[in-house]
Amino acid sequence: MIGIAADLFAKNGYHGTGMAELGQAAGLGRGALYHYIGSKEAVLYAISKEQVDKMNSYAEALFDLGLEPEDLLRQMARGLLRNIAEHRSEWAVFFREHTALTGARRDHVIAARERYESYWRQALDTGVRVGVLRQTPSLLVKGILGMLNYTYLWLDPQGELTPDEVADMFLDALIKGLRL
């Protein structure tokens, strides 16, 4: 159901997709649809939360490996682009529609996104601390993630370059600019 909803929201927008359309696409009647999902916002929350939570878990696992800062950044970028390539609709919905969430749902998604950003900041700060990267402004993390995140618009998992190759190209340019 989540994948179907993500595809519809990515194609038509959250506000442009009705419950009847969700039910029809999922092959569920109105009663069954509400029983399984509760509300359209609950589906948006599940879509938005799932991928960010996956990326936070992935980053935590990488930090536990004790990688060198450059390797850590590279693996984080590769993991993100692989996830985006595999879940383009979900990421399109997240980036375009997560602001439609309200209350605790919105707070949780924003906190999860900020937590993910903090892993990138920690990786950069570790590189500075061990003397392999230059000090960077905090805002740079948003720029790096913007560069990676918006590949959801064009990254083709079957394309000429793999997600890992795209991540490596981006990270090579970044690291060469930050290396001491």
Task: Quick: pLDDT tens for 106-142.
Answer: 999 999 999 999 999 999 999 999 999 999 898 999 9
Give the count of domains, the chain.
1
Q: Is residue 33 part of a domain?
A: no
pLDDT for the residue numbered 33:
67
pLDDT for the residue numbered 77:
98
Q: What percent of the chain has pLDDT over 90?
A: 74
Distance from C-alpha of 156 to C-alpha of 167, rounded to nearest angstrom: 13
pLDDT for the residue numbered 175:
87
Q: Is residue 76 part of a domain?
A: yes
pLDDT for the residue numbered 160:
93
What residue ranges of the chain have pLDDT lower than 70?
30, 33-35, 180
Q: Is residue 2 part of a domain?
A: no
What lies within 8 Å, CB to CB, of 81 at 6+ separation is: 148, 151, 155, 163, 164, 166, 167
pLDDT for the residue numbered 157:
87
Question: Is the model's pTM score more than 0.85?
Answer: yes
b/e map of 100-115 (b: 16 or more CB within 10 Å)?
Answer: bbeeebbebbeebbee
Q: Is residue 143 part of a domain?
A: yes
Domain residue limits at 82: 41-178
Map tokens 């159901």 to a residue.
1
Map tokens 């707070």 to a residue.
107
